[in-house]
Amino acid sequence: MIEIAPSILSADFSKLGEEIRAVEKGGAGVLHVDVMDGKFVPNITIGLPVVKSLAKIAKIPIDCHLMIEEPSRYAVQFVEAGASMVSVHVEADVHLHRTLTAIREAGGKAGIAINPATPLISLEEALPFADFILIMSVNPGFGGQKFIQTALDKVKKLKWMISERNLSTKIEIDGGIDVDNISQVVEAGAEILVAGSAVYGKNDPAKAVADLIEAASVWV
């Protein structure tokens, strides 16, 4: 099943409630929340109190993408704040198995995020402990960047690694997704499709989500 996950990073922060309603109306399956600490990535965004408020109004599951150092210090708190999915970067966590297990024990879906230049082999042993893998198709830190084409092969390779192990791990992709390339990422094997500027950069975010679903559905 394909799900569009609008990233509120590109939304108008002064009216987040309305912005969320709009994408829900358009058929979004997940709400992607980018948490940045100004250290792991050169930008600071949203923290726990905002997630707590969003969880009160969002009807769709909240997916927190932690672009922070030492994510094990905060991952469970994001689940407690109302996130259904929490991903931590493989580059930022030296005890990945422990963090993923803690997220699951807290009742969340545990994800591993991986940067464009990090090889998949670095998460191989952790695969059975993750519910989803977030393949970055831009260098994390900002919305509106250009899709890095090599991410397509990475998704295909990961899909193969997952099926070879008989796992049901989902593949999420994040960065530079739009109506022109979304069918390619779906064809490669991605199921959760993050889109920031392709949704909130448009005049009508509800329609933008519906357009992405339509463009993605070529392969389903």
Pick from 54, 45, 56, 92: nearest CA to 73: 92
Long-range pairs for 156-164 at CB < 8 Å and ≥24 separation?
A: 156/188, 156/189, 157/120, 158/120, 158/133, 158/189, 159/188, 159/189, 161/120, 161/124, 161/127, 162/127
Number of helical (H) and strand (E) elements in the chain, helices listed first:
8, 8
The catalytic residue among 37, 63, 93, 174 is: 174
* Options 4-12, 14-22, 160-168, 183-191: segment touching ligand DX5 (CB under 6 A): 4-12
Q: How far apart are CA 60 and CA 210, in angstroms?
A: 15
Q: Please, what is the Cα angle at 67 between 65 and 69, to 5 degrees?
A: 135
Catalytic residue flag (residue 204): no
Q: Report which of 149, 151, 148, 169 is spatially closest to residue 160, judged by C-alpha positions.
A: 169
Q: Residue holding tokens 């008989």?
A: 166
Chain residues that interact with Zn ion, rule: CB under 5 A:
34, 65, 174
Residue 115 binds what, of Zn ion, ligand DX5, none (CB under 5 to 8 Å, by partner type)? none
Show contacts with ligand DX5 in window 172-191 (CB under 6 A).
174-177
**Minimum CB separation from ligand DX5 for residue 129, in Å?**
22
Q: Which one, 65 or 170, has the nearer CB to ligand DX5?
A: 65
Return the number of the residue (88 or 138) whose C-beta is nearest ligand DX5: 138
- Answer with the entry of ligand DX5, Zn ion, none that 118 interacts with (C-beta below 5 to 8 A by kind): none
Rounded least distance, CB 23 to Zn ion, Å: 15
DSSP assignment of 113-159, as one string? EE-TTS-GGGGGGGGGG-SEEEEESS-TT-SSPPP-TTHHHHHHHHH
Scanning residues 15 to 54, which ones bind ligand DX5 (CB under 6 A)?
Answer: 32, 34
Listed residue (175, 91, 191) closest to 139, CA to CA = 175
| Known active-site residue 34 | yes
Q: Is 93 helix (H, G, I), strand (E, B) or coil?
A: coil
Give the length of the chain.
220
89 lies in the site for ligand DX5, by CB under 6 A: no
| Closest CB 163 distance from Zn ion, rounded Å | 25
Please select the residue that binds ligand DX5; options are 16, 37, 62, 65, rule is CB under 6 A.
65
Residue 118 or residue 165: which is nearer to Zn ion going by CB? 118
Which listed range, 84-92, 118-126, 169-177, 182-190, lies at the site for ligand DX5 (CB under 6 A)? 169-177
Q: Write out the residues near ligand DX5 by the rule CB under 6 A.
A: 7, 9-10, 32, 34, 65, 138, 140-145, 174-177, 194-198
Kindly list the catalytic residues: 34, 174
